[in-house]
Amino acid sequence: MDPRKTALLLIEFQNDFTAEGGAQHAAVQAVMRQTDMLAHSQAVAAEARRRGVTILHAPISFAENYPEIPAEPYGILAGIVQSRAFRKGSWGAGICVEMSPQEGDIVVEGKRGLDCFASTNLDFILRQRGIANLAIAGFLTNCCVESTMRSAYERGYRVVTLTDCVATLSPEEQRASIEKNFPMFSLPLAHGAFLAGLEPARAAA
């Protein structure tokens, strides 16, 4: 893959997921530890950035009292409301220090649901930059990562899902998504294999 035509999308690396005291951290910490996904995500972001890959951050946030969500939410959005997670301006909604945006990174604004394409200008950004290859990392494996993966696949991007840079609520859900669903709509790769597939000579050009 040509780094100049490749983007790395980092979904919801926010304190509410990644940090002790985060509203959703206890729910995902076991799977995070299982694959050391935060350290792997740091490593892949740093090296991909160095090679000229476009780095995009896609945090989610809601106004106080969650007016963007239906009055009687269900499913994953109900869990967000109940735990008071991802409130705009709160510590929990902030991108964690380990994955802080660096100079040249792009923060995608407007994410309010599961699919990163649905309520943002992500597709516009990717096409304006001539991106053909989209690698995805973050939370939750079987929710926002998978929803975004499917949308990217439908839009004609060459999609890579970074199997050791994602986490969800249980090992069973993690395994089912990676083994059964990821291969249908993406190229599932560990972060090292993704980096090995970049073209270093062209990245330096």
CATH classification at residue 48: 3.40.50.850
Q: Residue 201 has what pLDDT?
A: 47
Digits of tens for pLDDT over the chain (205 positions)? Answer: 999 999 999 999 999 999 999 999 999 999 999 999 999 999 999 999 999 999 999 999 999 999 999 999 999 999 999 999 999 999 999 999 999 999 999 999 999 999 999 999 999 999 999 999 999 999 999 999 999 999 999 999 999 999 999 999 999 999 999 999 999 999 999 999 999 999 874 433 3
Are the CB atoms for 148 and 41 separated by under 8 Å? no
Domain count, the chain: 1
Domain that holds residue 64: 3-203
Of 197, 126, 123, 135, nearest to 166 (Cα)? 135
CB atoms within 10 A of CB 94: 16
Q: Do the beta carbons of residue 48 and residue 42 sit within 8 Å? A: no
Angle at 158 between CA 156 and CA 159, to 5 degrees: 110
| Three-state DSSP class for residue 100 | coil
Measure the CA–CA gap between 47 and 53, rounded to whole angstroms.
9
* pLDDT value of position 125: 98
Is the whole model's pTM more than 0.85, yes or no? yes
Q: Coil, strand, or helix at residue 8?
A: strand
Q: Which tokens belong to 126?
A: 């990717």
The angle, 0 to 180 degrees and rounded to 10, between the axes of the packed helices 25-35 and 37-50 is 70
Sort 50 into a burial class: Cβ within 10 Å, 0-12 / 13-18 / 19+.
exposed
Give kind and range of the element (H or E) at residue 146: helix 146-154
For the chain, what is the largest distance between any 2 Cα atoms, rounded to a whole number of angstroms? 53
At 74 the pLDDT is 94
